[in-house]
Structure 1
Amino acid sequence: MTESEFLVLADSSLNAIERALEQACDDTDLDVECSRSGNVLEIECIASNSKIIVNSQAPMQELWVAAKSGGYHYKYDGARWVSTRDGSELLSTLSQAVSDQAGVAVTLPQPG
């Protein structure tokens, strides 16, 4: 994948995560605030006064997540973002991190 293809995919993925979290806030008791600055999505969990950061790393063609539970790196396998460490899927890990830090169970849906 070229760098420009990666940047389009990463931007689309960050937008989808933000939309899914906004929908979850509308549908549940979830209270998070999302803000974007370029390739960085900041998810502020209001109840715990904590943040989760998701950002794209173009040189490595990865999405990185920083949460209280740790730091994670994900590569796109042609269908989904997969952890470079343990093979877990980005939205699954992110759902768990948001649930843990926000105190409300959240499941981010797979796009499509």
Structure 2
Amino acid sequence: MKKNINNFYMLVDALFLKIEDNLNLYDNHDIDIDYEIQDYVMTITFANKSVIIINKQELLQQIWLATTVNGYHFNYRENEWICNRSNKNFWEIFQYACSVQSNKNIIFIKNNIN
């Protein structure tokens, strides 16, 4: 089990870094996105004060995404985080949520994103 937990943390770390990299692309644009990470909880705040929260669920080995519209749970399978209800990948849902909540067209870099 310890090996699985270590792998889970490596996957979560990689995901959080890719999220940060993508959010940082909008630093110099007219889209106001702030974020902070504390204890594997990422809080993303938009100019309109709406919030997206991403966190890990260690026991379930899932990533949870909470938006103003819905909550999503993702399992890692076939080299990507997949929603356990819709079977959509994390990036599809996250990009859409960021676009809706910022009221801007947000496009994340898809190269090597899992």
Matched ranges for 1:62-81 at <5 A: 62-81=62-81
Amino acid at match of 2:100: D
Amino acid at match of 2:21: R
Amino acid at match of 1:19: D
User: Residue 39 of structure 1 aligns with which residue?
Assistant: 40
Sequence identity, in percent?
25
Matched ranges for 1:7-86 at <5 A: 7-26=9-28, 28-46=29-47, 48-86=48-86
Q: Compute the TM-score of the two structures, normalised by the length of structure 2.
A: 0.89
Higher relative contact order (CA 8 A, sep 6+): 1
Amino acid at match of 1:16: K
Q: Is the 8 A contact 2:36 2:42 kept in 1?
A: yes
Moved over 6 A (4+): none
Deviation at 1:98, TM superposition (A): 0.6
Structure 1 residues 54 and 100: alpha-carbon distance in aligned structure 2, compared to 1, 3 A threshold: same
| Distance (whole Å) between structure 2 residues aligned to residue 54 and residue 89 of structure 1 | 14
Amino acid at match of 2:96: Q
CA displacement, residues 37-65 of structure 1 (integer Å, 9 cap, x when unaligned)? 0211110011x111100011111111100
Q: Is the 8 A contact 1:98 1:106 kept in 2?
A: yes
User: Residue 92 of structure 1 aligns with which residue?
Assistant: 92
Q: Compute the TM-score of the two structures, normalised by the length of structure 1.
A: 0.91
How many residues are paired up? 110
Q: Is the 8 A contact 1:92 1:108 kept in 2?
A: no
Q: What secondary structure sits across from 1:24 in the alignment?
A: coil
Q: What secondary structure sits across from 1:109 in the alignment?
A: coil
Deviation at 1:111, TM superposition (A): 4.5
RMSD: 1.4
